[in-house]
Structure 1
Amino acid sequence: MANNATTPLDPNVQGSHDVTVFETETLVSRIGWTIGRNKLLFGGLFLILFIVLFAILGSIFIDEERTEVGYAMAPQETADGSIKETVAPRLRPSREFWFGSDQFAVDIFAYVAYGTMGTLWMGFIAGSIGIGIGTLLGFVAGYFGGKIDVIVVILSDALITIPGLILLITVSAYLDQLSVEQLGILIGVISWMGTARVVRAQVLTLKSRAYVEVSKFNGQSDIEIVVAELIPNLAPFIAAAFVGAVAGAILLSIGLSALGLGPQNEPNLGLMAFWFIRFGAVPQGLWWWFGPPIVVIAIFVVGLFMVTAGLDQIANPRLRTSV
């Protein structure tokens, strides 16, 4: 008698949808359990979420006009004894201006909110491009080998010896004006080499494992093996590398902007650092000017490194304390 039974995952069989939903819920619960058990990962995600929400909500609810030069106004006595609203630079924090104003009478609270959004967006672009290029080249070089592998190795070894900041300074000097997006693309294009080298080394190790050989024996194509077998095993590392790339891109952009070579026409924390350094906010004790951007940068970068350390514990069995 023929067996007409179908597999439980057949989409035409009643109940298969429930199985898929159950598997999805199980995956989500496992991710949540992992985050909850990993204190570094949980704490880092909390800090990052706090800064991201500050940037998003600030850019939604705060009028962008407050970031313009000369916005901060305060009543001042004129020569004839009358009182009128005049441009007020270096205002101390008040009800109207929570973080005061800077040398240009810009509302610092508004600028920090919009500048944080611009800096995070730049970091996301740079991290996505750098990790995307590095991961792709690392997989291709490590799995397929041959001439492609040789080219990727030579190119990455040559470019990784050039300091990123010096390369960015050289490129920026020849460009008239950089936007936040352009800076993110530039940083991403010059920061893929380390990822490519590590991914290549990992792929070289993984492709000799027994389960990869079994997949080849079962007739799976190279693309199917990479997608189904290799990428899931490297996902924690790739995630950690992305977080590290975002942190590195943000610090690199701030360093470039502090030299006056970053985006000049869009709010970003690096440009803010350039101006408070140039006008001596630190030696003059104008803490409400230099303090907020430093605190935001510190919280976000610490959060990113905590997430990286937490993901390393998941990806590296030697660092894993519990499963």
Structure 2
Amino acid sequence: MSYLDIDAQFNVDVSREKYADAKVTNSKNFNDPSDWYGSLHGPDDQLTATGRQQAQELASYLASSHPEISAVYTSRHYRCLETVKPYIEMCEREGKTIKFRLDMGLSEWRRADRKQARIPSTKQLREYHPTLDAQRQSLCTPLGHENLEEFYARNAYFLANLIQSLDNDPDGPESVLLCTSASNIAWMARILTGKYPDSSVKQDFSVPAIGFYKFSRRNVVPVKIDLDRKTPLGYPDIGWKNGVAIGGSWEITHNAECSFLSTGSIMLWTPSDIPESLTPSDARQIPEPNLPNFFDIQELNSEKSAAMTRLAKTETTIMTAAVEVPA
């Protein structure tokens, strides 16, 4: 194909239900449903009313200003699914065919002290949206506790795999939308432009709570992935530093675009907590996805609500029976 555009959008922090990145050691009780929402320690969260409004505004902006998008790749986090769903639905109403894909490669920074919510099942995802490709294999999967370089390596491998797969598909989309978290956006921007900063917290890319980025590919170079060269954690080692971008030259045409939001730009995120080094034993720790995901929580809450309704009806019946005094 002659070109490939990567549009990146994320929604995190202010417009999601919980704000913070609390360590699991500070959690009260992951097994108590009453502690899942309205707290900092819930396993997965949804957008607030503001976030849902922003998602609708994003949908209108993408549909009117970026009609070239024909595929959407999203993180498995519910807030990301919620963010792109209005756009998917708008496209479908207008008769536009768009591929809707979930990919583990877009997961947040994987860390040993953060318990993971269970990955949604195929059934849950199909019920959420019937066109979401829930059985497609992810282009990349987190392999363990990631330090600074491993997180770069995972994002680089995801991008290389994505670009290569699209280049090799004659019927593939030429412009794709990625929906993920703030840290991934900052890393991907550096990787696509081949700019490796002297400090990971360098303010080279503005990362607001919700924003739109567009990376356009000007010169096409075939992507080669050498599976024999791997990082200590196991990701293929993709060369991208010192101006060597993946698959050609890329430029940012839209950088943290927020003009379409009625709220304007909200908050700036700084990638400051990713460690530069890990011991081999730390790196091998893989957080188990043993927490309920958003779909599980909704199902449990629904069952709890139904049980309370049945109990209330039973109590009403008992009270009614109690006042029936024989003549």
> Normalised by the size of structure 1, how large is the TM-score?
0.22
- Which protein is richer in helix relative to its size? 1
- Which protein is richer in strand relative to its size? 2
> Normalised by the size of structure 2, how large is the TM-score?
0.22
Q: Larger Rg: 1 or 2?
A: 1
